[in-house]
Amino acid sequence: MSWWRARRPGTMTGATGPASYAHWSLWFDEFALGGNDEALFVRATSGALPWSAGTAERLSERAGAALAARLDAAGLALQSSLGRCRTAQDVERAVLDARRCLAMLGRFAALSCWPATLNTQLSALIAETAADLQKNLLRSAATDRTGRLAMALRRTPVDALDRVVVPLEVAPSPPPPATGRRILL
């Protein structure tokens, strides 16, 4: 018999936000994995952030590490998408998907629960990564003889994060009630 329940790694129960370093640690682990960002953002804004001298540095490091993991995943997803591209439109779609992902990470950096200094540091990390991606894409597009790839990358740059609107996830509406005859075959 055990006195404590076993904690499953990477899961946080309850609708309330994280209030201790342990809860924030689980929150950062979930965010680094990706997937349920809207629920995590809601949970983070309803949580309390204990900014004391000892935890401020550790929480900032965890936020930076979680963001770096997501930025690496976004870069790998862009690289994978570009490897499957056959036309300039495919390249533009892949870049727009990456830009949408980076803009969502910008929402992470701008969460109201972070102090202003952490907001600016995380936003700067996202902008720097986007600029590096764009520079590397243009450098690799220079080998294309037709110039279409470079033109597509200049038309839809990865680092134009201010042009992206990230829609909030909306719960699907129930189907309208059936009226009239229903024929079942």
pLDDT digits (tens, 9 = 90+) for 6-46: 444 445 555 578 888 889 999 999 999 988 889 999 999 88
The better pLDDT of the pair 21, 5 is held by: 21
Give the pLDDT of residue 182. 64
Residue 69 has pLDDT above 90, yes or no: yes
Contacts of 146 (CB under 8 A, 6+ apart): none
- Residue from 113, 111, 85 nearest 98 by CA: 85
CA distance 22 to 159: 34
- pLDDT tens-digit readout, 128-185: 999 999 898 888 888 878 888 888 888 888 887 766 554 544 445 555 565 667 666 6
Q: Is the pLDDT of residue 95 over 80?
A: yes
pLDDT given at position 170: 45
The per-type count for the chain, helices as H runs and strands as E runs, is 6, 0
